[in-house]
Amino acid sequence: MKFVVKLGGAALEDPKLLHACGRAIADLVKDGNQVAVVHGGGVQLTRTLAAMGKKSEFISGLRVTDAETRDAALMVLAGRVNKSLVAALGKHGQDAVGLAGGDGNVFRARKKKTNPDLGFVGEIAQSNPRYLEAIWAMGAVPVISSIALGFDGEYYNINADEMASACAIATKADTLVFLTDVPGVKGADGQVMRWLTLAQIPALEKQSIVSGGMLPKLNACKAALLGGVKRVRILPAESAAVLPDLISTRVNDGTEVMVA
């Protein structure tokens, strides 16, 4: 089976969590699955920008990205964060190849049209997974940072959840898993919703039950499901060990997002 696993937040910050996620992904591959990892790195980028004297600004969960912020994102996400994930997989004996979205033109971006304008924030306009398939053919894991090259020659910062969704659609993945800082999507009662249908999402947004970074995540879930991905689950990174069990065992952690 094909898995796309999106990593971000604490999973990239906490060495123990990163180690556990690396082990779970390596176990998925050992079980005969093809796995691609897509990662963000917003916390690390915010910290780097602060050290540069730049304040981070977000609108509807998306980072406002001027040219200097974009260049920092390229350095942090495609550099240190990407290579730390490659190393984490290597510790478990799993070969991995780090990529930015522009490498091999695997993903091409266009500027995201928003009001107000977000700067160098893009969305995936085109994908060609041939290099991902070549990496899989060698038994390795492609590790993809959420940066993509535009047709105008500029790099664009891509929301990592959107990138993961685009990757899952392009590779015809069976399962897309978002490893997150939160236990799942919470309902009006504050409890984690074990199952969430696409029809329920607008009401959650309208009532501000979900907001901020969860909004692009749920939009990414919707895009993946409508794009042919069979299963989408939001899973707390602390439960990464259950990843290999998703295929054959009933897993109660996190939120399963479904078409209906």
For the annotated binding site for substrate, the residues are: 41-42, 63, 157
Neighbours of 53 (CB within 10 A): 6
Spatial separation of the C-alpha atoms in residues 87 and 76, rounded to whole Å: 15
What is the secondary structure of 10-48 as a DSSP string?
Answer: HHHH-HHHHHHHHHHHHHHHHTT-EEEEEE--HHHHHHH
CA atoms within 13 A on the CB side of 117: 4
Binding site listing:
41-42, 63, 157
Starting from the edge strand earliest in sequence, which strands make up the sheet with 141-145, in order? 96-100, 141-145, 34-39, 2-7, 175-180, 231-236, 255-258, 195-197
Q: Alpha-carbon Rg of the chain, whole angstroms?
A: 17
